Structure 1
Amino acid sequence: MYLIDSHAHVYSEQFKDDRDAMLERALEAGVSTILMPNIDHTSIDVMLETEARHPEQCIAMMGLHPCSVGKHVERELYLVEEWLGRRKFAAVGECGIDLFWDKTFFPQQQEALRVQIDLAKKHNLPLVLHTREAFQESADLIEAAQDGSLRGVFHCFSGTKEEAERVIKLGFYLGIGGVATFKNGGLDKVLPGIDLKHLLLETDCPYLAPVPYRGKRNEPAYLPLINRRVAELLRTDEAAVAEATAQNAKALFNL
């Protein structure tokens, strides 16, 4: 099987001691392509280093994570814009709104997302959206900006059937990760009604490891477990899910 991990922080500090071995395990598991979302100025160098060492496997995005939106947001966004003008990236991301930890910079998060929506349009790139505890707020901004040119993925989707339908109506994909394997993750009630053409697979490693590794460090080699669970929920075979989601990722990220 050929699998694409559409969202993985393989440049993370958590992989500093075994990054090459971890990426080799991913290849052995059939995960031939890994999309890497940026966080902020602190992650750019190590992300691009990882891409340079593994150019056939790891592909970088450029964006500002909502949890990194703070007092220096303008400087961070300037850097994102500068990099997008300097070289090719697969997407603008990850960006969005996160109201789980702190709502202090909510207005700034909204403005940062608007700026990155404009950058996605300007560079004809997809958006990779982080919407933790902020689905409505994020979807409202995408809806207001959708002129037919916006495309992307609501990463780590764990919402309701109605929210899934809204994402699809907006022309975006649903990024499905380890939550699909959780007993009370809720996706068992949502995914059976969704066509494969709307789905991407992701690990969001080193976070959100699927069962039976829940609570441990996640890595792309675990993507087949998510693939298998999606196949079970859609009552289809694993090869069909792997092929469809890989084709979707190739189309979205222009691979």
Structure 2
Amino acid sequence: MILTDTHTHLYYEADPEKLAQLMQRCLDKEVSRLFLPNVDASSVSQVFNLVKLYPENCFPMLGLHPCDVKSDFQEELNTIRQATTQGKIYAIGEIGIDLHWDKTTLSFQQDAFRQQISWALNMDLPIVIHCREAFDEILEILSEMKNDKLRGIFHCFTGTAEQAEQVIELGFYLGIGGVLTYKNSGLDQAIANVSLNHIVLETDSPYLTPVPFRGKPNESSYLVYVAQKLADLKEVSIEEVARITTSNSKTIFGI
């Protein structure tokens, strides 16, 4: 069985010994493919350092997180764009719009999102979208920039069944994580009729920890709990969930 965590910030762990333990727990749970998004210019080196330590298991993505889009975002974007030439990357992400924390930066976020979509189109890479309280704003830009090459993942999808359909119609996959295990999230109902062929798994560690560890820091090894919950929902084996979602990740990232 091969499980793929399509979105983890495992590189946040600065202690080499603890990081090695985190990775070993992943491998022990057969979570052997991890895709790492940076969040800003300063975290690019952290991503690449972990990739160098585990080149068979860790794969880099680069982008500017919408929560890190400030008035100086163009400078940040320029630095990150330059970093995309330092080594092979597999997606532009995580990028998008977040209106939960700060609505005043919306125009900056929209500009940064458009620029980074253009990078992805020029480099023929998928995008990994962070969308929080901004589904309509995200959809507007994706529709505006619609292109045969435009593809990727709606990271941490927590929308409605209707929104799930819209995402799939655009050719994107749903990134499903720990929220699926939360009793009253409603995510199980939203994806009840969504085929596994449109889903990938993720943890977003150290955030959004699944049950039974909710309230503690998340880690990629906990992906098994998301996979098992999805298997129960779809009435298939966890091995089948692993097979299909990993296959989907290979289609998206090309590895």
Where on the TM-score scale, by shorter chain, does this alignment land: which range? Answer: over 0.9
Superposition pairs for residues 30-109 of structure 1, below 5 Å?
Answer: 30-109=30-109
TM (norm. structure 2) is 0.97
Alignment pair present for 1:142 and 2:142: yes
Q: Which runs of 5+ in 1 are unaligned?
A: none
Take 1:208 and 1:16, find their aligned partners in 2: how far apart are those partners? 23
The alignment's C-alpha RMSD in Å is: 1.2
**Deviation at residue 87 of structure 1 after TM alignment:** 2.7
Q: Deviations over 1:200-230 (max 9, x none)?
A: 0000000000001111100011001000101
- Check whether the contact 2:5–2:34 (CA below 8 A) recurs between aligned residues: yes
Residue type of the partner of 2:253? F
**Deviation at residue 85 of structure 1 after TM alignment:** 3.4
Take 2:71 and 2:16, find their aligned partners in 1: how far apart are those partners? 29
1:119 matched to which residue of 2? 119
Q: Which runs of 5+ in 2 are unaligned?
A: none
2:251 matched to which residue of 1? 251
List structure 1 runs of 4+ shifted beyond 6 angstroms.
none
Take 1:139 and 1:220, find their aligned partners in 2: how far apart are those partners? 29
**Deviation at residue 143 of structure 1 after TM alignment:** 1.5
**Deviation at residue 27 of structure 1 after TM alignment:** 0.3
Residue type of the partner of 1:244? I
Take 1:247 and 1:199, find their aligned partners in 2: how far apart are those partners? 10
Take 1:133 and 1:61, find their aligned partners in 2: how far apart are those partners? 23
CA 1:236–1:178 in structure 2 vs 1: closer, same or farther (change >3 Å)? same
Residue type of the partner of 2:197? K
- Check whether the contact 1:179–1:185 (CA below 8 A) recurs between aligned residues: yes
DSSP 3-state at the match of 1:43? helix
CA 1:15–1:210 in structure 2 vs 1: closer, same or farther (change >3 Å)? farther
TM (norm. structure 1) is 0.97
Take 1:86 and 1:37, find their aligned partners in 2: how far apart are those partners? 15
1:133 matched to which residue of 2? 133
Take 2:11 and 2:73, find their aligned partners in 1: how far apart are those partners? 22
Take 1:67 and 1:131, find their aligned partners in 2: how far apart are those partners? 11
**Deviation at residue 160 of structure 1 after TM alignment:** 0.1
CA 1:15–1:212 in structure 2 vs 1: closer, same or farther (change >3 Å)? farther
CA 1:208–1:67 in structure 2 vs 1: closer, same or farther (change >3 Å)? same
Take 2:14 and 2:166, find their aligned partners in 1: how far apart are those partners? 35
CA 1:235–1:62 in structure 2 vs 1: closer, same or farther (change >3 Å)? same
Residue type of the partner of 1:188? D
**Deviation at residue 15 of structure 1 after TM alignment:** 6.2
- Check whether the contact 1:14–1:206 (CA below 8 A) recurs between aligned residues: no
Take 1:108 and 1:13, find their aligned partners in 2: how far apart are those partners? 30
- Check whether the contact 1:37–1:62 (CA below 8 A) recurs between aligned residues: yes
Q: Deviations over 1:22-74 (max 9, x none)?
A: 00100000001100011001111111111111111111101000000002101
1:190 matched to which residue of 2? 190
Superposition pairs for residues 214-233 of structure 1, below 5 Å?
Answer: 214-233=214-233
Identical-pair percentage: 44
DSSP 3-state at the match of 2:25? helix
Residue type of the partner of 2:82? E
**Deviation at residue 16 of structure 1 after TM alignment:** 5.8
- Check whether the contact 1:91–1:127 (CA below 8 A) recurs between aligned residues: yes
- Check whether the contact 2:44–2:80 (CA below 8 A) recurs between aligned residues: no
CA 1:15–1:174 in structure 2 vs 1: closer, same or farther (change >3 Å)? farther
Q: Deviations over 1:146-185 (max 9, x none)?
A: 1221010000000000000000000000000000000011
